[in-house]
A and B are shown apart, each in its own frame.
Chain A
Amino acid sequence: MKYFGKKLIAMAVTILVVSFLVFLAFAVIPGDPAISMLGTEATPERVAALREEMGLNQPLLVRYFSWVAGVLHGDFGTSYSYQMSVTEMIGDKIPVTLMLTLLSFLIMLVISIPLGIFTARHEGGKADRFIYIVNQIIMAIPPFFSGILITLLFGIILRWFTPGGYVSYDVNFGQFVAYLFFPALAIALPKAAMAVKLLRTSVASQVKMDYTRTAYSRGNTTKDVFYRHILKNALIPVITFLGMTLADMVAGSIIIEQVFNVPGLGRILLTSIQNRDYPVVQAIIVCIAFLVIFVNFLVDIAYRAIDPRITLD
């Protein structure tokens, strides 16, 4: 239990550091939210008045601490550009990004685990070679480009979905999921390729271990040994990888949301940075950071649960 306490404190500290770094970054970045809001109608008088109104003239630390105080009360402030409550705005978009990530993760599992096991069992065969090459090529395509290709193939040529025809989850959940399937595929493909490769190497290294030979010499059947001993041990590094991937996917969604016109956290984040809409950027980054750290934490626990050599204290 001591371990959890320590971990939790470390998590909190990391998030504090992240949020402060963002605050600092925006203090030095060129661009002024007040000017940004007024656009070409900015006159020095209006800018000055607006800056005062927005509290931008207060010192950095004062602004930071009042922000932290607000967050502790569940209040992320008001968006400069939308004049909406940030909590509400982000709350609306979190399900979109979460669903996208979840779908990508599922697709990745569905593709990679059977394929990984298959290639591992047929190591060196023709099919293995072929999958290996396809894998390497998939990993070499920039994600946004595979997104464009998927749009072209499934959207324009096959007409399986309407490019840009995103439907919100509160309008029609089925269509929402159906649309997200394709961006999720674009995110999942390169990750699946990596997972297949990792699983294959991992299994291969287990096969050479002494315990495998012992198991065989005891008279166990090949299939038995494979699933009972080899796979179980081979999965340990894969789980670490999956955890890292989940975090990676949240980041990867920033680009893919842009390609598929999905209004998730990534899209809001990009435009908010451009608009110097600090309260929104702050909130999203803290959310993403939290998600990443939390996933890492879960992986850590899963890892310890599976591998008997590591204890929780």
Chain B
Amino acid sequence: MKTKVLKTVLLALVCSTLTIALGACSGDKASENSSQITIGIPQDLEDSLDPHKSVAAGTKEVLFNVFEGLVKPDSNGDFIPAVAESYDISEDAKTYTFSLREGVTFHDGSQVTAEDVKYSIDRCAGTDGSAPLIEAYSNIDSVNIKDEKTVEIVLKEPDTEFLAYMTTAIIPESNENPDTNPIGTGPYKYVSRSPQENIILEKYDGYWGTPANIERVVYRIIANADSIVMNLLGGSVDMFVRLTDAQAKELEGSDFNILEGTMNLVQAVYLNNAKEPFNDVRVRQALSYAIDRTQIMEMVSDGKGTEVGSSMFPAFDKYYMEELNDVYSQDFEKAKELLAEAGYPDGFSFTLTVPSNYQQHVDTAQVVAEQLKNIGVTANINLVEWDSWLSDVYADRNFEATIVGIDASTMTASAMLERFQTDASRNFINFSSSAYDEAFRKAKASVDDEEKTAYYKECETILAEEAANVYIQDLPQFVALNKKFGGYEFYPLYVQDIAKLYFVDENNE
């Protein structure tokens, strides 16, 4: 009797497992939506979806397709009118006047009004007395509604670069849950999200500008960087925008086009200028002499990437100074001399803190550590989680040296250079130079473009000569895009413009 029961149970188990296994074989027919693109992103948007509160670059990258400001950046880094139709900047660079575009609607169908614009900007400026959500907005004196279609922003201090900050999203005042239900004016509207799984966007039919080509966008979260290649090859993802060189190589000969651009950031060994021994300029210079950028690029990305010699990346061609790349070139003798002068004839050892989630930085750190051995300096690599990095290194400034890439939050030179003023709140490397502070102040105050640029360049030169950091490179960026799609454009900012993507062959749909 017992035997029979046991056998029946076993048989049932085998059958059910077989059914499942068979079902698995037919699993390939994953919902083939005719006009859909699946984009892999390495991190979930572990963030508020409120465009004013979200801070992670990965969130902004997705929300770029949902929200628009009065103006928005194009792929050349210029500003094109968006919610505003035109703008006017007064002579003294203190009054910015925007005329709103006719017929711009929010995703809920309502018209964008001057009140919504004022509400959005006031909200970021913290005019109700709270801390401003955008630091630069503390310069806003008042936001005035001139008439139904005209909004005027008055600044406390003149600022010719302020237009760059007007990319801040315009949101409807009526939305009660901006954290979880984002409503904007962009070409795509938000549909749903599932933590660690996906975010879904859909084409917004009422968009004022050129409509998007693809109906539906699914951002699929692939937290495990090592599985990306398999996911692409397996066909579950159509596009991935941040591949390493090695991953791109694995995709050769597959269904993917590999596009190459730059990440638009400054990767460097950021040194804590307030800590021994890095408070001595000679030590900082010695480290700069000890490393070989070409070899680093060779090892980390097979020779791709662009050298940088100061805190400015090449996409800012107006400010980028190629000549600063040659301030230091590998010279061990010189480095050892400088170390000896500084009182470290036998070298020293320090801790190099690196956020573990960025493979390129981890790889770079290993090469840098090898190169520094040549001058008797030992770098002990300490990998930390991104959050520990943020709190220990970035906020508390409790570190000796770190390798990260710093990008620009807006398309302005000051976004890159502001942080190195002596008392800037983001000056996590504790750089301190009165000459720098002076030059930066003058650059900021100047309303003449040529003069302004000259002062910014002076700032860059000071950073290079003082060897504030050991500058390395602007990392290469590899985008894998399934051959079904075309139209990808690189931006000098951390954004992905999905509205421009299209199907290469309509028959392929």
For the complex, is B367 an interface residue (Cβ under 8 Å from A)? no
**Choice from B179, B220, B236 contacting A83 with Cβ under 8 Å:** B179
Check if A82 sits within 8 Å of B195, measured CB to CB: yes
Encoded as 1 (CB less than 8 Å from any A CB) or 0, chain B from 219 to 235 comes to 01111100100110111
Q: How far is the CA of A44 from the CA of B423 in the complex (A)?
A: 13
Q: Which of A146-201 contact B (CB under 8 A)?
A: 151-152, 155-156, 159-168, 171-172, 174-175, 177-179, 181-182
- Judge whether B387 and A162 touch: CB under 8 Å: no
- A42-B390, A156-B234, A162-B235 as given contacts; A110 in contact with B17, CB under 8 Å: yes
Q: Does B318 contact A (CB under 8 A)?
A: no
Interface string of A107-126 (1 = CB under 8 A from B): 10110011000000000000
**A252 contacts chain B at the CB level, 8 A cutoff:** no
* Chain A proximity mask over B22-34: 1 for CB below 8 Å, otherwise 0: 0111111011000
Q: Give the residues in chain B near A41, CB-CB below 8 Å.
A: 55, 135, 409
- In the complex formed, the residue of B with least CB distance to A226 is B3
User: In the bound complex, how far is the Cα of B7 from the Cα of A114, in angstroms?
Assistant: 10
B334 at the interface (CB under 8 A from A): no
| A36 x B390 contact (CB < 8 A) | yes
Instruction: Enumerate chain B residues within 8 angstroms of A37, measured Cβ to Cβ.
Output: 47, 55
Contacting residue for A106 out of B17, B130, B426, CB 8 A: B17
Q: In the complex, which residues 35-77 of chain B have their Cβ closer than 8 Å to any Cβ of chain A?
A: 40, 44, 46-49, 55-56
Contact of B236 among A164, A174, A231 (CB under 8 A): A164
Q: Cα distance A107–B224 when bound, in Å?
A: 25
Tell me the residues in window 432-450 of chain B with beta carbons closer than 8 Å to chain A beta carbons: none
Q: Is the CB of B230 within 8 A of A156?
A: yes
Among A15-23, A204-212, A256-264, A286-294, the one that faces the other chain is: A256-264
Q: Give chain B residues whose Cβ lies under 8 Å from the Cβ of A270.
A: 223
Contact present for A261 and B231 (CB under 8 Å) = yes
A162 touches B31 (CB 8 A): no
* Shortest distance between the CB of A287 and any CB in chain B (Å): 15
CB neighbours of B231 from chain A (8 A): 163-165, 261
Taking a contact as CB atoms under 8 Å apart, the answer to whether A179 and B224 are in contact is no
CB distance from B271 to the nearest CB of A (A): 18
| The one of A47, A114, A159 that contacts B28, using a Cβ cutoff of 8 Å | A159
**Per-position contact with B for A28-48: 1 when CB-CB < 8 Å, else 0?**
001110011111111111110
Within 8 A of B (CB), among A215-256: 223, 227-228, 231-232
B493 → A minimal CB distance (Å): 15
For residue B386, CB closer than 8 A to chain A, the reply is yes
Q: Is the CB of B194 within 8 A of A168?
A: yes
Which listed segment binds A: B8-16, B278-286, B309-317?
B8-16
Q: How far is the CA of A258 from the CA of B235 in the complex (A)?
A: 18
Bits for B189-205, please: 1 = Cβ < 8 Å to A, else 0.
Answer: 00000111100000000
Binds A, one of B99-107, B162-170, B342-350, B391-399: B391-399
Expressed in whole angstroms, the minimum distance between the Cβ of B156 and any Cβ of chain A is 18
Give the contact stretch, choosing among A5-13, A272-280, A303-311: A272-280
The distance in angstroms between the C-alpha atoms of A81 and B193, with both chains bound, is 14
B259 within 8 Å of A by Cβ?
Answer: no
Q: Given A31-B388, A82-B46, A152-B230, is A162 in contact with B27 using a C-beta cutoff of 8 Å?
A: yes
B-side contacts of A82, CB under 8 Å: 46-48, 195
A84 CA / B177 CA spacing, docked (Å): 11
Q: How large is the interface on A (under 10, 10 to 19, 20 to 34, 35 or more residues)?
A: 35 or more
- Decide if B385 touches A274 in the complex (CB within 8 Å): yes
> When chains A and B are docked, how far (Å) is the Cα of A165 from the Cα of B20?
16
Q: Is the CB of A178 within 8 A of B234?
A: no
The answer to whether A25 has its CB under 8 Å from any CB of chain B is no
The smallest C-beta distance from A311 to any residue of chain B, in angstroms, reads: 23
Q: Report chain B residues within 8 Å CB of A232.
A: 2
B218 nearest CB across to chain A (Å): 11
Q: Is A92 an interface residue (CB 8 A)?
A: yes
| A35 CA to B391 CA, complexed, in Å | 6
Could you say which residues of chain B place their CB within 8 Å of the CB of A227? 2-3, 6
Contact B55 A165 (CB under 8 A): no
Who on chain B is nearest to A167 by CB? Answer: B30
How many whole Å from B7's CB to the nearest CB in chain A?
A: 9
B195 pairs with A178, CB closer than 8 A: no
A62 at the interface (CB under 8 A from B): no
Q: What CA separation (Å) do A113 and B31 show in the bound complex?
A: 37
Q: Are B194 and A92 in contact (CB under 8 A)?
A: yes
B23: contacting residue among A32, A81, A178, A277, CB under 8 A:
A178
User: Which of the residues B3, B21, B28 comes within 8 Å of A181, measured between beta carbons?
Assistant: B21
Q: Which of B44, B179, B194, B392 contacts A271 (CB 8 A)?
A: B44
With A40-B426, A178-B23 as contacts: A84 and B386 at CB distance below 8 Å: no
Whether A49 lies near B130 (C-beta < 8 A) is: yes
Whether B425 pairs with A43 at a CB distance below 8 angstroms is yes
B24 / chain A contacts, CB cutoff of 8 Å: 160-161, 178-179, 181-182
Contact call A83/B55, Cβ cutoff below 8 A: no
13 A-B residue pairings within 8 Å (CB atoms): A31-B387, A31-B388, A38-B55, A81-B47, A84-B180, A163-B230, A163-B231, A175-B30, A178-B26, A261-B221, A263-B194, A271-B46, A274-B387
Nearest 5 pairs of A and B residues by beta carbon: A164-B231, A165-B236, A163-B234, A263-B197, A178-B27
- List the interface of chain B (C-beta within 8 A of A): 2-3, 6, 10, 13-14, 16-17, 20-21, 23-28, 30-31, 40, 44, 46-49, 55-56, 130-131, 135, 179-180, 194-197, 220-224, 227, 230-231, 233-237, 385-388, 390-392, 394-395, 409, 425-426
Beyond the given pairs A49-B131, A227-B2, 5 more chain A to chain B contacts, judged by CB atoms under 8 angstroms and listed by A's residue number, are A30-B391, A163-B231, A177-B20, A182-B24, A260-B227
